[in-house]
Structure 1
Amino acid sequence: MLSPMLACALLVLLLCRISACQYSSDQCSWKGSGLTHEGHTRDVEQVYLRCSQGSLEWLYPTGAIIVNLRPNTVSPAAARLSVCIKPSTDSSGTNLYLDRNGKLRLLLREQDQAQGKVHCFSIQEGALFIEAVPHMDISRRITAFQYELVSDRLGAEAHSLGAPCQPCNDAEMLLAVCTSDFVSRGSIKKVDQEEEQTSVTVEISRLYRQKTQVFVSGGVRVRRWTGRIKMPRQCGVRSGEGEFLFTGTVRFGEAWMGCAPRYKDFLRLYHEAQQQGNNPCHMDVD
């Protein structure tokens, strides 16, 4: 009689055909090859990725794969997540669809992947269905992208050209201090209008928190940081006097603006909430 562990391993081998389905140990990334799939071009591989971020690389694609992106914990909040993917500029060989209960919706054509733009969709919209585009020569075809699971408000909206640019209300400002990937105090030095977004150069006088190093220190003796924060172009941000509280998210190594009130307005709001006992978290404002 097989042990439970051995039986489980055999089941994985049967379902995944391990030669074509290679996972990292934490199931954050997947790398496979269509060469082992050539004799089964009508088959559809099932890929399961259960991390908040990772990558996929499919060499010489043939047939199709279904990529199921899910968090590694079961929670009601998981239904409110968005998936953001950023194709490699060398990515080719497939079309990307959303598959919900067998109904496909085109997300990204092969020729669009080379732009390397971020595309987001709600996790409720289904799994990724990646279908190989027939080519005489597949030796140069590789489909590759990074992915991240993010909250609906701070994820999909940040990368949507139609994202609203409404100021945060009082409750959102206070909550942003607790939940943002970066929280900093500083001033706007330069605003660059790029093709589809605005890039704001900022100088930081107080860095409260940053998830990754999006703001760079000026040196040990200089307690200043500089960096760039992106936002949708139609928000119409301009250089202004005074200090702001910058909060936001980090997506694929780039900082995206969330709530950004003037610091004096935030300070007044913070002290009022502190007196009323309504602050969701503590912040050292001294």
Structure 2
Amino acid sequence: MLSPMLASFLPLLLLCRISSCQYSSDQCSWKGSGLTHEGHTRDVEQVYLRCSQGSLEWLYPTGAIIINLRPNTVSPAAARLSVCIKPSRDSSGTNVYLDRNGQLRLLLRERDQAEGRVHCFGIREGALFIEAVPRTDISRRITAFQYELVSDRLRAEAQSPGAPCQPCTDAEMLLAVCTNDFVARGIITNVGQEEEHSSVSVEISRLYRQKTHVFVSGGVRVRSWTGSIKMPKQCKVKSGEGEFLFTGTVRFGEAWMGCAPRYKDFLRLYHEAQQQGTNPCHVDTD
């Protein structure tokens, strides 16, 4: 059952397909204010975000906006992408729907946004239709979230990151070193328990790759890095158990553990694959 306000937007949605909406230019992030809609609360602004990641911040929301998320390259593979959004825990003032050719499906209620959980959907499932919740006082209401475009393969992990608990196969370990967002050799210094996951503090002696700066350098004269890697609570991990090769993905600026073999086990596996000519990429193990 659609709300009266939402139902009033449906005819306008059809007109938006033609020419009646406001349009913003292509960008990675968007920040706007509902105050520009005062007196025009039925205006629907079309926003196009064409990056692999970015953010949205809508102050004092009134009316509605449509967010079209697209990759910045044209490729048949783009149809297999998923969109993941992570609301700010302070986000409020709107309900979020998926709009596909004028058909709306509820994705996220206002009260759910405070949980700050990741929600994913296929890019072909539609655009985001963000509808302001009617209020006489819109002050202090801000809708804010981050978004990332990921492959369908990573979609399940982003929503329910429990896969790292499952031991990686030899082939998965070798491939992770070539394709993951970060690859680092080091030790576990501490394991902390947070509300929904474990936080593994690590000290890195060799940093092969990192997508973003999730590991911080100890300085020019110190050849080490420190950082924190998240894991699901159910994964059992302890500090002080030798040297590991940490691999994994970066989700919304946070490192999440993937394959993490003991370094000596990785070395044995790598050299065996090297002799057989089956390594998917080269790693400097000196």
Shorter-normalised TM-score: what interval? 0.7 to 0.9
Q: CA deviation at 1:101?
A: 4.5
C-alpha spacing 1:172/1:103, structure 2 compared with 1 (3 Å): farther
Task: Tell me the SS of whatever aligns to 2:77.
Answer: helix
Q: Which amino acid aligns with 1:66?
A: I
Contact 1:154 1:258 in 2 (8 A): no
Please name the residue that 2:179 is paired with. 179
Quote the offset at 1:53 in angstroms: 1.0
d(CA) in 1 for partners of 2:103, 2:193: 39
Alignment partner, residue 44 of structure 1: 44
1:247 Cα offset (Å): 0.8
CA gap 1:225/1:186 in 2 versus in 1, 3 angstroms = same
TM-score by length of 1: 0.83
CA distance in 2, matches of 1:16, 1:196: 41
Q: In structure 1, what residue type is equivalent to 2:84?
A: C
User: Could you tell me which residue of structure 1 aligns to residue 90 of structure 2?
Assistant: 90
Q: Once the 2 structures are TM-superposed, how far is the Cα of residue 257 of structure 1 from its aligned partner?
A: 0.9
Match of 1:254 in 2: 254
- Structure 1 match to 2:112: 112
- Decide whether aligned partners of structure 1 residues 223 and 69 sit closer, same or farther in structure 2, where only a CA change above 3 A counts: same
Measure the CA separation in 2 of the matches of 1:38 and 1:175. Answer: 53
Counterpart code for 1:204: I
SS at match of 1:41: coil
Amino acid at match of 2:284: D
Provide the C-alpha distance between the structure 1 equivalents of 2:265 and 2:121, rounded to a whole number of angstroms.
34
Match of 1:267 in 2: 267
Separation in structure 2 between the aligned mates of residue 105 and residue 262 of structure 1, nearest angstrom? 46
**C-alpha contact 1:186 1:246 (8 A) present in aligned 2:** yes
Q: Does 1:133 align with 2:133?
A: yes
The one-letter amino acid of 1:113's match is Q
| Residue aligning to 1:4 | none
Partner of 2:69: 69
Retained in 2: the 8 A contact 1:121–1:156? no
1:129-185 Cα offsets, whole Å, 9 max, x none, are: 211111111233221212111233345414426656322222221221122111101
Which consecutive residues of structure 1, in runs of 5 or more, have no partner in the other structure? 1-13
Match for residue 169 of structure 2? 169
Any stretches of 5+ residues in structure 2 without a counterpart? 1-18
Task: Give the corresponding residue for 2:11.
Answer: none
Does residue 198 of the first structure (1) align with residue 198 of the second (2)? yes
Deviation at 1:254, TM superposition (A): 1.2
Q: Aligned to 1:92, what secondary structure does the other structure show?
A: coil
The one-letter amino acid of 1:56's match is L
Shift of 1:86: 2.2
Residues 158 and 231 in structure 1, CA contact (< 8 A), matched pair in contact too: no
Give 1:7's aligned residue.
none
**Conserved 8 A contact 1:161-1:196:** no
Could you say which residue in structure 2 is the equivalent of 1:144? Answer: 144
Aligned-pair distance for 1:40?
A: 4.1
The answer on 1:79 being equivalent to 2:79 is: yes
Query: 3-state SS of the aligned residue for 1:235?
Result: coil
Deviation of 1:244 after TM superposition, in Å, equals 1.1
Conservation of the 8 A alpha-carbon contact between 1:47 and 1:66: yes
Give 1:204-219 correspondences, 5 Å limit.
Answer: 204-219=204-219
Residue type of the alignment partner of 1:199: S
Aligned to 2:12: none
Q: What percentage of residue pairs aligned between the two structures are identical?
A: 85
1:75-123: CA deviation from partner (whole Å, max 9, x where unpaired):
2332332222222333211011233454433322212323433333333
Partner residue in 1 for 2:277? 277
Residues 152 and 244 from structure 1, CA distance in 2 versus in 1: closer, same or farther, beyond 3 angstroms? farther
Paired with 2:252 and 2:95, the residues of 1 have a C-alpha distance of 22
- Residue 121 of structure 2 corresponds to 121
Give, in whole Å, the separation in 1 of the partners of 2:99 and 2:162.
Answer: 24
Residue deviations 1:26-61 (CA, integer Å, cap 9, x gap) = 511223333333444344332221101111122222
SS in 1 for 2:165: coil
Contact 2:64–2:129 (Cα < 8 Å) also in 1 = yes
The CA distance in 2 between the partners of 1:166 and 1:122, in whole Å, is: 25
Count of equivalent residues: 268
1:159–1:239 distance in 2 versus 1, CA, 3 Å: farther
